[in-house]
Amino acid sequence: MKIVFLLFDRITALDVVGPYEVLARLPGARVVFAAPQAGEIRTDNRMLGLIADVGIADVRECDILVVPGGFGTRILERDEDLLGWLRAIDRTTQITASVCTGSILLAAAGLLENRRANTHWAHRHRLSEHGAIPTPERVVRDGKYATAAGVSAGIDLALSLAMELVSPEVAAAIQLTIEYDPHPPLDCGDAARVPAALRETIVARAKAREVELAAADIRAEPSADRATALRSP
C-alpha cells in the first residue's frame, strides 16, 4: 500500500505527522513524503524543517493520498501545477484524504465539487467558495474523499482509514501502540461548544499572524521579487 503525504512550505506539522504516525504502521505501508520540489520545507511558523524525499513530478500514483493544511495553502490554492498534480494523482487513489485546510487544496482542484467535506473550523467558508459542501464533523467521508477537521483531527481520520482499509483489530493495535487515549485538560477543542468571543479572538489572531508571516516572506525575498510581491493583490 503506497501512501503519499504532500509537504509544502508553511505546512502545519501535526496535520501531516498525526496521520503519518498511524498510517505508516499499516501492514505493508510504503510511505512517501513529496513536495512541489524535493528537499527541506519549513512549517507555518518557520520553526521546524521537514524533508520531502521526492518532488511531486516524480510521484504518479498511490493508494492513499494525504493532503495536510497550513498557511501555505493560501499560495498553493492558486498554483496550477500543484492543482493539476492533485487531479492526476487522485485518478489513481483508493482514498484521497485531507487534514485541516488541506481540503481547500482538494476543493480548489475541483475534486470536492458538490461533495460534503470539512476543514479547520475557521476556514469553512473557503470550502463553499470552491463548490464543496462544508460539513462540521470531525471526519467527513464522501465517496473516496475523507476530509478531517483542523490539525489534530488527522489522527482520528487515519484511525478510521485503518479500520476500513485493514481491520478494526489492526486499528486497535495502532491506537494502543501510539497510546492514543486522549485526556485534554480542558474541553475547548470544538468550536461549536466554546464562547463566540474565544472563536473571534483566534480568528483575529490567525489573520494577524498570516499577515505577519507574509510580510516576513516578502522581506526575505530579493528586492526585485519583493516589489512584485508587494504589488500583487
How far is residue 159's CA from residue 80's CA, in Å, rounded to a whole number?
32
User: Which of the ranges 87-95, 107-115, 151-159, 219-227 carries the binding residues for its own copies, by CB under 8 A?
Assistant: 151-159
Fill in the DSSP letter of residue 185.
Answer: S
Q: DSSP letters of 188-228?
A: ---GGGS-HHHHHHHHHHHHHHHHHHHHHHHHHS-HHHHHH
Under a CB-based contact definition with an 8 Å cutoff, are residues 105 and 67 in contact? yes
Between residue 102 and residue 131, which ones bind its own copies under the rule CB under 8 A? 120-121
Closest CB 202 distance from its own copies, rounded Å: 6
Residue 24 makes contact with its own copies by CB under 8 A: yes
User: Which of the ranges 55-63, 86-94, 164-172, 216-224 carries the binding residues for its own copies, by CB under 8 A?
Assistant: 164-172
Residue 31 makes contact with its own copies by CB under 8 A: yes
Choosing from 91, 114, 125, 184, the residue that interacts with its own copies (CB under 8 A) is: 184
**Cα 27 versus chain centre, distance:** 23
Cell 511558523, located at residue: 45
Look at residues 171, 134, 132 and name the one whose alpha carbon lies nearest to residue 155.
171
Cell 503525504, located at residue: 5
Closest to its own copies by CB, 111 vs 157, is 157
Between residue 207 and residue 226, which ones bind its own copies under the rule CB under 8 A? none
β-bridge partners, 219 = none
The β-bridge relationship of strands 145-148 and 139-142 is antiparallel
Q: Is 62 assigned a catalytic role?
A: no
User: Which of the ranges 54-62, 72-80, 189-197, 214-222 carries the binding residues for its own copies, by CB under 8 A?
Assistant: 189-197
Residue 166 makes contact with its own copies by CB under 8 A: no
Under a CB-based contact definition with an 8 Å cutoff, are residues 2 and 66 in contact? no
- Footprint on this chain of its own copies (rule: CB under 8 A): 12-14, 17-18, 20-21, 24, 31, 33, 40, 45, 47-51, 53, 100, 120-121, 138-139, 149-153, 155-156, 159-160, 163, 168, 171-173, 175-186, 188-191, 194, 198-199, 201-202, 205-206
Q: Mind telling me the catalytic residues? A: 100
